[in-house]
Amino acid sequence: MTNALLVLSFVTKAAGFIAALNAIPGVPPSEGVIIFFLASLVKDTVNRIGDFLDHGKSDWRD
């Protein structure tokens, strides 16, 4: 599950970064920034929830 989360996070962040550079036709840069932000937020949230469910405390690895 962790590997899948890392891969999906990387792909989504890369797409958001490329969109933020205005390199994808039809996608405004502001949406790219939002995509990047949401990918980061979801990854961190899932990691924290998994830590709490695993052993009841957060393992802050950042």
For the chain, the domains span 2-55
Whole-angstrom distance, CA of residue 22 vs CA of residue 8 = 21
Condensed to tens digits (0 to 9), the pLDDT of residues 23-59 reads: 888 889 999 899 889 988 988 888 888 888 887 776 6
Model confidence, pTM: 0.71
How many residues are given for the chain?
Answer: 62
Q: What is the CA radius of gyration of the chain?
A: 14
